Amino acid sequence: MTLLWWVVFHALDALFWLWILRWGGAAWLEGTFLSGFLVSIFAPRWGAEGLRMFALLMLVVCAISFVWGLLMPEVRCWYSGHC
């Protein structure tokens, strides 16, 4: 995966988690079947606060993987399946 696609992928991923965390996505997804597809299979049972906590955790994990991929380009191959 090229650096450009790595940055684009992670930017879109971060926007999704920020939408859940800050911009009303948690309230919109709370208790819906769709949250099971977009967030986690356990998400339909979570309230808005649980969804926001999960989004915060995923933002941290994604930030770490983004920096890891910037510093070690071979890590990007794990995500894309080909180099």
Q: Is the pLDDT of residue 82 over 70?
A: no
Looking at the 3D structure of the chain, how many domains does it have? Answer: 1
Query: Quick one: pLDDT at residue 83?
Result: 59
Q: Which of 78, 65, 80 is nearest to 1 (CA)?
A: 80
| Range(s) of the domain holding residue 26 | 3-80
pTM of the predicted structure, to 2 decimals: 0.82
Residues 6+ apart with CB under 8 A from 69: 6, 10, 75, 76, 79
- In tens, the pLDDT along 15-70 reads 999 999 999 989 998 888 888 888 888 888 889 999 999 999 999 999 999 999 99
Query: Contact at 8 Å (CB) between 15 and 9?
Result: no
> What is the reported pLDDT for 45?
87
Q: Who contacts 70 (Cβ-Cβ below 8 Å, separation ≥6)?
A: 3, 6
